[in-house]
Amino acid sequence: MPEETYTPPSAPPPSPAPDTDNDNKQEEQNEQTEQIVETGSVITPNAKHLIHCLTIIGQVEGHFILPSQNKTTKYEHIIPSLVAIEQDRSIKGLVIILNTVGGDVEAGLAISELISGMKTPTVSLVVGGGHSIGVPLAVSAMHSFIVPSATMTIHPVRVNGLVLGVPQTLSYFDKMQDRITNFVTKNSKMPADRFKELMMQTGELVMDVGTVIDGETAVEEGLIDSLGGLSDAIEHLYGLIEERDAQLALEECGDECGNDNEQQDDNKAEQASPHDE
């Protein structure tokens, strides 16, 4: 009988190496998607400069929760995001996209004050509309843009609910309106008298007092700095970032740069002066 030979089982083929690059990219995309859904913001890492995009849309939600069918921007999401952006050294700039009907006055002013007090370069872009408290939000950035088709509504402070018909109520409204007027005129080129004139205009709005201005008029009136779109806003933000980087580099250099400049000036003076024979 023929002898039986033992054949050992062949080793299984090696498993393919995990594609870590694709896994990391997918994880980054998932994180960005979650960030957009939760806070309406996104960071763009693969760009000339690392910038953060923040959107303020719908109605600015303040101390009261609005109905679920309303599109809202929650100030408890925006405020910590602004603090994080200001502290994060890797984020070089902030672009704010606005398409808002207004909302809570104090919440909108709080966000506006935070943006205007940032050292991180900021640029705002109004698309669609920047109405009511959206006006201070638009002018709070270092430079503001608006597209030609966008509009902005300027009107007095309004309140919903029970109102006491006493002089103190009107005094409170006047003080709140002065806070808005002072902030807008401080952060734009529009004079206070002209802002109040547009705010108290009659005959333009059917059910309200105030004025609606388009993009070109907003720039002509000095409310918004420039007429332009997304690419214009991004390019201007890059310029602000590079100016700030140059300024920070000069501050870090300190006395050494000053001594080097003095030495260069002395060398130039020696080269320019005639030598004695």
Q: Active-site residues: which are they?
A: 132, 155
In the beta sheet, which residues pair with residue 93?
A: 51
CB 175 within 8 A of CB 131: no
C-alpha to C-alpha distance for 53 and 44, rounded to whole angstroms: 8
DSSP letter assigned to residue 8 = P
CB 101 within 8 A of CB 59: yes
C-alpha to C-alpha distance for 98 and 58, rounded to whole angstroms: 9
| Parallel/antiparallel/unpaired status of strands 41-44 and 51-61 | antiparallel
CB 79 within 8 A of CB 113: no
Q: CA-based angle 227:118:98, to the nearest 5?
A: 40
In the beta sheet, which residues pair with residue 126?
A: 98, 146
CB 179 within 8 A of CB 156: no
The single residue listed with the structure tokens 């006493």 is 166
